[in-house]
Structure 1
Amino acid sequence: MDYQEKANSVADHLLNYSKDESGWKICKKTNEVVVYWRPSSEFSGNVYKGEAQISGCPQKVWQCLRPDPDGLRVKWDDNVKKFELLEEVSPDISVCRTVTPSAAMGIISPRDFVDVILVRRYEDGTVTSNATHVSHPACPPQPGYVRGFNHPCGCFCVPVLGQTDRTKLISFFQTDLGGLLPRSVVDSFFPSSMIDFYANLTKAVKALK
């Protein structure tokens, strides 16, 4: 598999998502975060978009989000139990395995995901992570985990003009959890999970010195 080509393609996909305002509907909202959804063109589920401003410069926010096996994500993100590097394709592209714990009071059993991830930087200071599912010879489906599939997903850390200590974070989640889950469980899980994601990230950024 050409991981580099796939990674660049998913980054282009997400850039298009970030620019396309059509069809998004609000499904959950707090004072800080808005979560939108629309039907996915990749699979039979939905694509979700989260938007919020985080108190902290883009470098700090990115430090918490960086896809790194030794990074901070597993410490603050309740939905990431384990994050493993399977292959470093280039300095900006890696193939990784993510393990998630059971969720929704045990209705959703532990999952694992294998993704190619590209870190892309833009001239305005925006840093993005861009991921989608791939197969890898070092990681076939494993007992004890349902193999899930991430369709184009990721995060945009965008500098806020004139406010160096704030970051606009746009996140896209588009996940086929696999298994025979009721649609209602999946549709309620993702928006709530994204609200928690932003709340936990905000705390993690605040805790950085």
Structure 2
Amino acid sequence: MDYTAAAAQAADKLLQYSREQSGWSQCKETDGVLVCWRPSSEFPGGLYKGDGIIEAAPEHVWECLKPEQGGLRVKWDKNVQAFELVETVSDDITICRTVTPSAAMKIISPRDFIDVVFIKKYDDGTITSNATNVLHPDCPPQPGFVRGFNHPCGCFCVPVPGEPGKTQLLSFFQTDLSGFLPQSVVDSFFPRSMCQFYSNLKKAVKELTS
């Protein structure tokens, strides 16, 4: 499998999502975080977009978000139980396994996801993580976990012009949880968990910078 090509394609799609203003429907807003969605063109599910301001510089926000083994993400993100580096493809592209705990009062059982992750930086100072599902010989399905599939997803840490101590965080989730889940559970899970994601990130950044 051409992991580099898959990573580049995911980054292109994420950039496209970040620029598209129309077609989104608001599904939740809380504490300055707006969550919208639209039908996914990748699978029979939804593409969710979160948008909020974090009171910290992009490099500090990125330190908490950085997808790396032993990083801060597993300490504050309630939806990430473990994060494992499977293979380093290049300086900015890796293959990773993410384990998520049970959720929605255990209606959603533990999942694992195998993704290629591409860290890309833009000239305006924006730092992004771009990911999509891949197959890897070292990561067959494992007992105790439902194998889920992330379609192009990730985060954009965008500098706020004239506000060096603020970051606009755009996040995109496009996840096929697999298994036999009621659609109502899936539809309510993502907006709620994304707002929790922002709330927990804000607390983690504040601890990092205090």
Compute the TM-score of the two structures, normalised by the length of structure 1: 0.99
Q: Deviations over 1:23-76 (max 9, x none)?
A: 101000013100000000000000000000000000000000001001100000
Amino acid at match of 2:88: E
Partner of 1:83: 83
Partner of 1:40: 40
User: Alignment partner of 1:180: what SS?
Assistant: coil
Provide runs of 4+ in structure 1 moved above 6 Å.
Answer: none
User: Alignment partner of 1:208: what SS?
Assistant: helix
User: Alignment partner of 1:78: what SS?
Assistant: coil
Structure 1: how far apart are the matches of 2:197 and 2:13? 22
Structure 2: how far apart are the matches of 1:79 and 1:199? 13
Give yes or no for the alignment of 1:121 onto 2:121: yes
User: Alignment partner of 1:124: what SS?
Assistant: coil
Give yes or no for the alignment of 1:17 onto 2:17: yes
Structure 1: how far apart are the matches of 2:195 and 2:72? 19
User: Alignment partner of 1:194: what SS?
Assistant: helix
Q: Deviations over 1:92-116 (max 9, x none)?
A: 0000000000000000000000000
Structure 1: how far apart are the matches of 2:43 and 2:198? 25
Amino acid at match of 2:124: D
User: Alignment partner of 2:12: what SS?
Assistant: helix
Give yes or no for the alignment of 1:177 onto 2:177: yes
Compute the TM-score of the two structures, normalised by the length of structure 2: 0.99
Partner of 1:143: 143
Give yes or no for the alignment of 1:167 onto 2:133: no
User: Alignment partner of 1:79: what SS?
Assistant: coil
Partner of 1:112: 112
User: Alignment partner of 2:67: what SS?
Assistant: coil
Structure 1: how far apart are the matches of 2:70 and 2:165? 25
Structure 2: how far apart are the matches of 1:103 and 1:13? 28
User: Alignment partner of 2:8: what SS?
Assistant: helix
Identity fraction in percent = 66
Pairs aligned (count): 209
Partner of 1:52: 52
5+ residue gaps, structure 2:
none
User: Alignment partner of 1:96: what SS?
Assistant: strand
Structure 2: how far apart are the matches of 1:6 and 1:20? 21
